[in-house]
Structure 1
Amino acid sequence: MVPKTEKKSRASGATPRRRTPTAASTSQARQQQGGSGATSVAQVRLRPDELADLQQVMQTLKLHSLSDALREGLRLLSREATEVAASQEIRDFYQGAQAPTPSGVLPATADELAAADETEW
C-alpha cells in the first residue's frame, strides 16, 4: 500500500507496470461494460450516516458493490432529470396554462389534489 504522502502517478518517478494478459482482458471487459468506451473513476466523500444508508440500500437491493449502488443512483438521477425536463417542456408549450385533459376525463378536484400531495411512496 502506498503511504498517503506518496504520489501514485508516473510523474513521481514510478516506473510504469507492464500489463499482463489477464490485466489486459480485464481492462477490455470493463471498457465493454459501459458500451461507450473506457470507464472513468470518480470519488465521493460520504458522512458516516450516508455510508450507513448506502450499505442498507445495497443490502436491501442486493447490490454487490459500491460501484453498483452508485451507478443505480446515477441512473435514477438521470431518469428524474429527464422527467423534470419533460415537465418543463410541457409547461413551456402551454405557456403556464393548464394542460387540457383527455376527452372523457374530468379534472381533479382540490380534495383529490391535496390527497395526492399527502401520499407517501
Structure 2
Amino acid sequence: GFTFNFENTDAKPLLDFSVLPGKYPFITIYNQNETERVLRQHLEATYSFQPEWGTQLLALNQDENGIRAELRLKDGTKQTIAPRWVIGADGVRSRVRECLGIAYEGDDYEENVLQMMDVG
C-alpha cells in the first residue's frame, strides 16, 4: 500500500490500490520537477523555445490588433511584447486568467496538502 503524508496534520491514510475496481488498479505519480524538465526539453527541441524564469505578467490585453502583454523581467525592467499565443499554464491562481477575466472551473484544495508519499 501507500502512506500519504499531509501538511499540517498527523493523519496518515493508508491506501491499498490493489483493491481498486477497473482495468488499471494502480497509481502513477510523476515528480513535478521531472514533468517540467520533460516539457522544457520538448519546447526547446521542438520549438527552440526557452522559458524565461522570474518574468512576471503585469497586464494582458487583446484587441483587433492582436495581443499585448506587459512583463516585469527578472532584473526589474518592464517590457511590452506582442506574442502570437499566450498559454495560461500558471496554476489555480492564474494571472493569465485573472487578466482575461476567466473564472477557474476546477476545485481548489483548501484542506490538507499532500507533501510526500512513502511506499510500503
Q: Classify the TM-score, shorter chain.
A: under 0.3
TM-score (norm 1): 0.24
Q: Larger RCO: Structure 1 or Structure 2 (Cα < 8 Å, ≥ 6 residues apart)?
A: 2
TM-score, structure 2 length as denominator? 0.24
| Structure showing the higher helix proportion among its residues | 1
Asked which structure has the greater CA Rg, the reply is: 1
